[in-house]
Amino acid sequence: MYTLSTLLERLPTVSQARLISSGYGLWMVWSGSFNNAVGHTLRDHGLVQVVEDPCQSLWISFTPEVFRALAKLQIWAKLNPLPLFCQVVPLTALVGYDLNISVSVARDITRQQAGVAEDLETLVHPKFIDSVKNVNGLSLGTMITMQGLSSSGWMPLVVDQGLDYESPMTWYSVIRPLGRLGEREAIAGWRAFFAEVLGMFQRLGIHYLADDALGFVIFPLDSYRQLRMYCVEISTLLNELKASQRAYWPCVFAIMEQRGMSFSMDLPNRFSLDWNRLTPDFLHMHYRDAFTLLDDFKVNEISYGGDQENLDSWCNVSFRGEEGQGAQASIEVPLPRRWLAGMGNECFYCGLKNHAPAQCPGRAMPPFRADVWREMGFVNLEDMGKTFKTLDEPTDTARFVQQVAALIKGVNSAESTLLRAMFSTVTPAQLGMLPVLPRIKNREWPVEPEQLLPEEPWPIREAYNILLAGDLEKAKESVRAVSAKLGRSFEAAVLEGFISLESADPHMAQFYWQEAGRIGPSTVQQGYVMFLQARLHEVAGEYKDALGLYRQVRNGSPRWLEPAYREGVCMVKMGFTGQSFEIFADLVMREPQLFNRILLDTEIDRGRVQLLSGLRDPWRDAQTKAEEVGKRVEVLLKELPQWFDEDHEFRKPGLDHLERMNALAGTENFVAFREVVRGMDGFFSEMQKQIDEEIKRIKDRVMLYADRLRDVQYEAGWFPFPKLLHDFNRDFNYCVKRINWVMTQPLRMAGNFRTARRNLPELEERLQGLSKRLVSLRIVRDSTLFAMLLGKNFIWMEVVGLALALLTIPVLLFYSAKVANNWLVDGILAQKWAFQKGLIFLVTVFSLGLASLRSVMTFEKKKKELFEADAERREEGKKAQAKAKAQAQAQAKAKREQSAKPAEAAKPAAKPAAKPAAKPAAKTAAKVGGKK
């Protein structure tokens, strides 16, 4: 048993329908593989399959043709076994804003279950009794009940086997070439293209009428099959000709049901179409007919028509073939359709047709709006579509102007941002540019706000303000009064041109702007009024004249993108969308913000689908690059805190930049895509530069620490009591270990890099502690040296003194013994031991004093001999070692170059091997540790 609800669950969800219509649903259940003949029969009667599941499917039809199709199947089943269960159910078709079809079915029907019939079984809902009776040869049998089906009263379809149930549906199709057929190029292009079309007509058996004067080709299509074959054939032909650039000429195509209309040359006038607004190379038809082609074509909306859409509203279709336009889905941004409606002339200031220039909400907007397009770069495409849906409400002109003006002046909401952008597509042609003209000092366009001269009193300011207020007559009187008083000026002529424009007198506007061009003192001002005249020709439909003027403006200001953009718009309006694509693609590459402008520009509506399909490649390229960069940004958001601590100057601005880029990477907007790639290109190099500088700084500091540590080691090596240096040795060995680790580890790994940075403060602290302790060690060392010198001097002086005393006293006594009554000698002899002790004491004191004096006088000299001489020897050893290392590196480099020369001769493209990384500092640090 199969359940209808399992099929309906697979349908797309339509939360808000743009088009609702009742229809006929055909639920089919079968076993095994589906019989393709059944599908062909259903399609030949205009049915379209909306969902399929293994062994069941749901088809939809907007006409009673479903009963003719089932009648054919019943006749065919008499000769061929067809185990198929068919049930015709009432449903409501829901068409979403993305033009996807879903259906709504009554709840009791949704819960139905059905099995496979032994032979074809067709049941019809009683609601369709009248529809069946209207088809000759068809009727309904007695009401039956079946297990699993709802209790609606299903009736079997009864078919008269002797009748033919071919579809009576027929259509007329029209082909109209673009351009003026009186011109040689248009005649040659159309003839070459029509020669290819004739071959297709012969294959399909199509007969046609041709109007050589108007360029219409009219022909009938007699069945759904012929309609489908024609649409596929002409779409394939267009794709082939455009790809090969052979015999192609842009044309517009329209198809409509015959409905009793006669086959005559006035048929195109009865299509109720504005042929100048149709999109070239797309097949235009009613929604009712377009949905029957869903298997091969994609349905696209067109933005003009009545306020309420229905199945008889116009749309166009694009081919889904591998080489077709439909294969490359266009970028979807639905504009407010009701705003684009209107049969009047385009507004000079914005391009919409539902109001006059004097009523335009954008006429008084400021002249410089770079911030508007900058804000648009942060808006998702999906959000654009949702916002436009909320604005797509029917309204009269007065209310429209009031509503839009309020939104433009409102707060920074999504609606305000989009509307300000929509009314900024023709900024140079709006009134806000006029007060800027006297302040321009540039020699060519474009002009930026910071390039303007300081503002000065403007003689026609009052007339300008009156024009903005809408009083045209008073504004004209005011500007003429100023001209009579001060003489005719460039700004006055331009202002009178705007007054004439808003007075619905474009000829006088052109006259005044031509006058301003003659008066204009600079090429910038002359280019400006030439741009205004080109815009005037454009809104009047004189596109060739407009193109010529826009090209002149572009030649005078090559860096100004506005004239080139208007050229592309004019070509789209003429119907040459394919030729305009090169212009738009180049502009988008030069200025990404123009992509959003194309999305919002209401004036390219004629070729909108085709143009956005063509821009899909740049969009996808930018999106792919942004996704790749976005993934890298997400990684960097996690890695950057691992590279840099909170106290690092690069961490906070780097994280802020990455968060901003991450937000842009998640924004579906071409400007955001390009900004992410551009912003991260510089960031990658900046971050790498910071890391390289930090690594160099780390290694330089570590090298400095190693030198300081060697000095500490050398100084401590003179300490005479090494076993007393337990704490000193602990800190020293810690420093050696950390220095060796930093110099031997790859610092281009985030963990090693951050660990190295964290080790530096502790290294500095330990080295400072060692330096402080070294002061005490030096004191002990110098004191020990002084004591040793003092002891040395004292000992030899004491020995010499005692020796002299021992020799001098006996000699003195011997010679003085001959002298009679010598009291001195008698006293010495009487107290010889006491005298001996006193003499030794005197000699010791004298020797100690003399030794101290000598030690003080010779201490510095001895110190230099011991320490500085050794330091000089160490320095000479360092220089010799560095020189030997440099020579070794030079020899290694020379050997590599010599070995690379034969390889280059054999394979010029090969690159020499990379220079091996040397770590002399690490070796030195290791030696420091070893020495200790």
Higher pLDDT, 764 or 495: 495
Instruction: Tell me: pLDDT of 535 over 90.
Output: yes
DSSP code, position 13: P
| Mean pLDDT over the full length of the chain | 82
Instruction: Tell me: pLDDT of 531 over 90.
Output: yes
Q: Is the Cβ–Cβ distance between 219 and 253 less than 8 Å?
A: no
Q: How many CA atoms lie within 13 A of 628 on its CB side?
A: 9
- Encoded tokens for 836: 């001996």
- How many CB atoms sit inside 10 A of residue 598's CB? 23
- 175: confidence class by pLDDT, cuts 50, 70, 90: very high
Rounded to whole angstroms, the Cα distance separating 641 from 872 reads 46
Rounded to whole angstroms, the Cα distance separating 701 from 748 reads 17
Taken as a whole, the chain contains a residue count of 932
Average pLDDT over residues 644-660: 80
Rounded to whole angstroms, the Cα distance separating 872 from 221 reads 107
Average pLDDT over residues 277-289: 90
Summarised one tens digit per residue, pLDDT across range 777-811 is: 777 777 877 888 888 888 888 888 888 877 777 77
- Encoded tokens for 81: 């076994």
Q: Is the Cβ–Cβ distance between 155 and 144 less than 8 Å?
A: yes
Rounded to whole angstroms, the Cα distance separating 768 from 765 reads 5
Rounded to whole angstroms, the Cα distance separating 176 from 268 reads 9
pLDDT of residue 926: 38
Rounded to whole angstroms, the Cα distance separating 593 from 596 reads 6
Domains of the chain: 2-159 (3.30.70.1230), 171-329 (3.30.70.1230), 619-709 (no CATH), 718-898 (no CATH)
Instruction: Tell me: pLDDT of 224 over 90.
Output: yes
pLDDT of residue 901: 54
pLDDT of residue 683: 82
**What is residue 353's three-state secondary structure?**
coil
Phi, psi of 27 (to 5 degrees): -100, 125
**What is residue 99's three-state secondary structure?**
coil
Instruction: Tell me: pLDDT of 818 over 70.
Output: no
Average pLDDT over residues 205-220: 86
Q: How many CA atoms lie within 13 A of 776 on its CB side?
A: 8
Rounded to whole angstroms, the Cα distance separating 127 from 130 reads 8
The one-letter amino acid code at 888 reads: A
The C-alpha torsion from 778 through 779 and 781 to 784, rounded to 10°, is 170
Lowest mean pLDDT among 71-80, 627-636, 882-891: 882-891
pLDDT of residue 387: 84
Residue among 548, 371, 532, 378 at smallest CA distance from 445? 532
Q: How far is CA 356 from CA 349, 350, 365, 368, in A?
A: 9, 10, 16, 23
Rounded to whole angstroms, the Cα distance separating 768 from 57 reads 84
Q: Is the Cβ–Cβ distance between 728 and 709 less than 8 Å?
A: no
Lowest mean pLDDT among 57-71, 350-364, 887-901: 887-901
Instruction: Tell me: pLDDT of 840 over 90.
Output: no
**What is residue 252's three-state secondary structure?**
strand
Rounded to whole angstroms, the Cα distance separating 672 from 593 reads 9
Higher pLDDT, 242 or 931: 242
Percent of the chain with pLDDT over 90: 25
Rounded to whole angstroms, the Cα distance separating 745 from 917 reads 12
Beta carbons within 8 Å of 166's beta carbon, 6+ residues apart: 68, 223
Rounded to whole angstroms, the Cα distance separating 198 from 215 reads 15
Q: How far is CA 508 from CA 481, 518, 545, in A?
A: 19, 15, 17
Instruction: Look at the alpha carbons of 489, 492, 498, 501 in this order and tell me if their dihedral is positive or negative.
Output: negative
Summarised one tens digit per residue, pLDDT across range 23-38 is: 999 999 998 888 888 9
